[in-house]
Structure 1
Amino acid sequence: MPDSQKLEKAFQLFDEANSKDPNTEVFKGKSYPKEVLYGLRMTETLNSFMPNASEALRLTARCQHICRWEIPRDRYEMNRAGYLKWRQELKKFHAEKASEILKTIGYETQIIEQVVFLLMKKQLKKSEETQTLEDVICLVFLKYYFEPFAEKHDEGKIIAILQKTWRKMSEKGHGAALKLPFSEKSQALIKKALEG
């Protein structure tokens, strides 16, 4: 199977796995399983942010949240330690799920290992690909999820989240984030967060 066909097959299987998500989100009048929509947004953002991304990075972007609903946040203590444990378990879970799918398509070990490396967020700030993935995750959050999130939380928490998100990003990521079409209210919050 040529590489382009393998990539399309992987995307199809990732989306099929995510289509079982019981959570839905309506976007532009159409209802999607939440994680299918997230995967599509990750692919679209990566294609725009880094059009020449490697195959491993393109695969990772699409399966970043694969079957995430199977490990709910409320299974862990609702504190920082519980949150961090949940995030670590998710990374391992996503890596295992993605590996299984990629093996069935016949991907070589080297690419599967790189996808696992990226899903585990190894060497953030040192690995260019891990950093690019993190930039794309942050850009997707800022473009699609930040404003609904901001409506539900107080200003102090929103500013802290923005500052934390900003710290994770590269200069290239910052440049792309500042071009996003934010509302006036969000622009004011971002300005406040960056000056703080």
Structure 2
Amino acid sequence: MTNRLEQVINALDQLHSEDPQAVNVDGESVAAELLYAQRMSAWLTTLTQSPGECLQISVRAQHLQRWQVTREEYPEGRVGYLTWRRDQGIRAGETTALLMSEAGYSAEDAARIATIINKKGLGRDPDVQALEDCACLVFLENYFADFSRKVEHDHMLRIIQKTWRKMSPQAHELALGLPMSASSAALVKEALS
């Protein structure tokens, strides 16, 4: 890891650690957003042999300071959700660009980060696809079971199908190998049949 990459990752993690929501991991309290970012980076090392610095930063910054503007501040429904998600991506890109500038990265690198975080070019841009694959795998591995209990069955099937369409064949294979409860596995199987 280069000095400037390490500087940006450490700065991102400092911001992540300010998340007021904490989770218990092996008896230790960890900021929820920091844990999410670490999980994203862990999946990146599984998916990509030698990810570039811009991709590593993008993956680490994807959910940066999401607690500052909550989903509830936007209208209900798909349009409200998509607007909130877009605005979150813009904020994360802007904050990350500042951290990158302080570490000596170029404006072009910062613009690249914004493209990746905002998932522009999904399915065409390998870095954007890698970030999306990480996000989908983190969700399926760590948050899917709890989330699926809160969502109506048919709606959950549609969410799984949409998620699956965004993933690469490599991510599909990894997802199918994840340990899941019997009910989660049945839900995935039903959605994909």
**TM tier relative to shorter chain:** over 0.9
**C-alpha distance in structure 2 between counterparts of 1:129 and 1:57, whole Å:** 6
> Could you give the per-residue CA deviations for residues 63-115 of structure 1, whole angstroms, max 9, x where no partner exists?
11111111111111112221111111111111101101111111123322211
**C-alpha distance in structure 2 between counterparts of 1:118 and 1:170, whole Å:** 16
The percent of aligned pairs where both chains have the same amino acid is 36
Per-residue deviation at 1:119? 0.9
Asked if 1:166 is matched to 2:164, the reply is: yes
Name 1:189's counterpart in structure 2.
187
3-state DSSP class of the match of 1:147? helix
Alignment of 1:17-56 (within 5 A): 17-56=15-54
Per-residue deviation at 1:147? 0.9
Name 1:152's counterpart in structure 2.
150
**C-alpha distance in structure 2 between counterparts of 1:186 and 1:171, whole Å:** 20
3-state DSSP class of the match of 1:31? strand
Q: CA RMSD in A?
A: 1.2
Greater CA drift, 111-120 or 57-66: 111-120
Greater CA drift, 164-173 or 20-29: 20-29
3-state DSSP class of the match of 1:60? helix
> Could you give the per-residue CA deviations for residues 15-48 of structure 1, whole angstroms, max 9, x where no partner exists?
1111111111222322111111111000111011
Greater CA drift, 7-16 or 24-33: 24-33
Per-residue deviation at 1:51? 2.6
Name 1:124's counterpart in structure 2.
122
The residue type paired with residue 86 of structure 1 is W
Asked if 1:5 is matched to 2:26, the reply is: no
Gaps of 5+ in 1: none
Aligned length: 193
**C-alpha distance in structure 1 between counterparts of 2:92 and 2:7, whole Å:** 18
TM-score by length of 2: 0.95
**C-alpha distance in structure 2 between counterparts of 1:50 and 1:124, whole Å:** 16
3-state DSSP class of the match of 1:38? helix
3-state DSSP class of the match of 2:24? strand
**C-alpha distance in structure 2 between counterparts of 1:27 and 1:184, whole Å:** 24
**C-alpha distance in structure 2 between counterparts of 1:159 and 1:79, whole Å:** 17
**C-alpha distance in structure 2 between counterparts of 1:162 and 1:62, whole Å:** 24
Per-residue deviation at 1:152? 2.1
Name 1:77's counterpart in structure 2.
75
**C-alpha distance in structure 1 between counterparts of 2:43 and 2:168, whole Å:** 15
**C-alpha distance in structure 2 between counterparts of 1:21 and 1:51, whole Å:** 30
Gaps of 5+ in 2: none
> Could you give the per-residue CA deviations for residues 134-162 of structure 1, whole angstroms, max 9, x where no partner exists?
11110011011101112222322221111
TM-score by length of 1: 0.94
